[in-house]
Structure 1
Amino acid sequence: MSDFKIDIEAAKRTNEQWKEILTPMEYHVLREAGTERPGTGALLHENREGTYRCRACNAILFKSDAKFDSHCGWPSFYAAEDTAVRLLEDTSHGMIRTEVRCANCDSHLGHIFNDAPQTPTGQRYCMNSVSLSFEEADDEN
């Protein structure tokens, strides 16, 4: 049985509370919409079967069977779990992109691109590794 519990109160936290809970890099990415350097994330090469959750609130975001190697330097998925994420227009840095946020706690996760024709959806959810936690699948089932 998983010990991960979704924090349904996370959306109510103040910035000061987030700063107490998250590391400086987690705070920068999750709360300030920052980006980790490509190729540096701990989950980039994670290949075990399991579930990817929001680092801030533990909400289930992606399953390992939707992960693929897009060679972009960040963990990539072709589909999110139903209702797990919100998509917003992002016009920062002089470009128009689609930002991906956790639907439960509104944390920044990364961006989605329609540039993955090798996947069933054609989409690439390009996620910051620091915005995710990984829960290995339970082998008892």
Structure 2
Amino acid sequence: MSNPPNEQKSEQDWQQELSELEYYVLRKKGTERAFSHAYDKQSAPGQYLCKACGALLFAAQHKYDSGSGWPSFYDEAQGGAVELQAQRTFFSRKTEIICGNCKSHIGHVFEDGPQPTGKRYCTNGTALNFVPQPEDE
């Protein structure tokens, strides 16, 4: 039996596919501890995919060290790779980053990033899967 397409997966399907931490971050909109994931300091060329569905989200060439303790990018890999949604709580207003394909939570975007976009896509390393660029490229 094959897995259902991402848009048809139930939360039970996601819970069975993902680790406990991945499920907490990707599906319950959790946040991993700052400085807890190796991707924060990762600098190799390659691509960052959604851990839940494998969609391309970010390119290593857009990654920079924001000092925040979470992997940060100043742009998405291509238009529509991620979607932004306003997230309001009693104490703050944030803009959530979700995967454009499976709608999983990736992190938050802030307006304090470097040029040319001025954005800081602050991601959870747990929500990403790094694929290194082949050496012959």
2:81 aligned partner? 84
The CA distance in 2 between the partners of 1:86 and 1:78, in whole Å, is 15
Distance change (3 Å), C-alpha of 1:18 and 1:58: same
Q: Shift of the alpha carbon at 1:94?
A: 1.7
Structure 1: unaligned runs, 5 residues or longer: 1-6
Structure 1 runs of 4+ aligned residues shifted over 3 Å read: none
Q: Shift of the alpha carbon at 1:93?
A: 5.5
SS, match of residue 32 in structure 1: coil
Q: Shift of the alpha carbon at 1:41?
A: 1.1
1:75 aligned partner? 71
SS, match of residue 16 in structure 2: helix
The CA distance in 1 between the partners of 2:90 and 2:39, in whole Å, is 26
The CA distance in 2 between the partners of 1:23 and 1:44, in whole Å, is 20
TM-score (norm 2): 0.93
The CA distance in 1 between the partners of 2:26 and 2:8, in whole Å, is 15
SS, match of residue 62 in structure 1: strand
The CA distance in 1 between the partners of 2:11 and 2:31, in whole Å, is 18
CA RMSD of aligned residues (A): 1.5
The CA distance in 1 between the partners of 2:115 and 2:80, in whole Å, is 20
Identity %: 39
1:1-12 equivalence runs, <5 A: 9-12=5-8
Structure 2: unaligned runs, 5 residues or longer: none
Q: Which amino acid aligns with 1:24?
A: E
What count of residue pairs does the alignment treat as equivalent? 134
Deviations 1:45-86 (A, max 9, x none): 111000000000000000000000000010000000211011
TM-score (norm 1): 0.90
